[in-house]
Chains A and B, each alone.
Chain A
Amino acid sequence: EAQVTQNPRYLITVTGKKLTVTCSQNMNHEYMSWYRQDPGLGLRQIYYSMNVEVTDKGDVPEGYKVSRKEKRNFPLILESPSPNQTSLYFCASTSGSAQKTQYFGPGTRLLVL
Chain B
Amino acid sequence: AQSVTQLGSHVSVSEGALVLLRCNYSSSVPPYLFWYVQYPNQGLQLLLKYTTGATLVKGINGFEAEFKKSETSFHLTKPSAHMSDAAEYFCAVTLDNYGQNFVFGPGTRLSVLP
Contact A106 B94 (CB under 8 A): no
Contact A40 B97 (CB under 8 A): no
Contact B98 A97 (CB under 8 A): yes
User: A27-41, CB under 8 A of B: which get 1 and which 0?
Assistant: 000110101000011
Closest to B6 in A: A42
- Asked if B51 CB lies within 8 Å of chain A CBs, one says yes
- Asked if A102 CB lies within 8 Å of chain B CBs, one says yes
- Asked if B27 CB lies within 8 Å of chain A CBs, one says no
Contact B90 A42 (CB under 8 A): yes
Closest to A31 in B: B98
CB distance from B11 to the nearest CB of A (A): 15
Majority secondary structure of chain A interface residues (helix, strand, loop or mixed): strand
CB distance from B103 to the nearest CB of A (A): 8
Contact partner, A97, options B43, B46, B97, Cβ 8 Å:
B97
Contact A50 B100 (CB under 8 A): yes
- Asked if A74 CB lies within 8 Å of chain B CBs, one says no
Closest to A109 in B: B41
CB distance from B22 to the nearest CB of A (A): 14
- Asked if A43 CB lies within 8 Å of chain B CBs, one says yes
Closest to B52 in A: A98
Answer whether A102 and B102 are a contact pair too, CB < 8 Å, given A42-B107, A43-B90, A97-B97.
Answer: yes
Report the bound CA distance from A42 to B105 in whole Å: 6
In A54-113, which residues have CB < 8 Å from any B CB?
Answer: 56, 58, 90, 92, 94, 97-98, 100-102, 104-107
Contact A105 B102 (CB under 8 A): no
A residues in contact with B99, CB < 8 Å: 31, 33, 94, 100, 102
Closest to A107 in B: B43
A residues in contact with B34, CB < 8 Å: 100, 102
Point out residues on B near A: beta carbons under 8 Å: 4, 9, 32, 34, 36, 41-46, 49, 51, 90, 92, 94, 97-102, 104-107
Known: A31-B98, A42-B4. 8 other contacts (CB 8 A): A30-B98, A33-B102, A42-B106, A42-B107, A44-B104, A50-B100, A58-B100, A107-B43
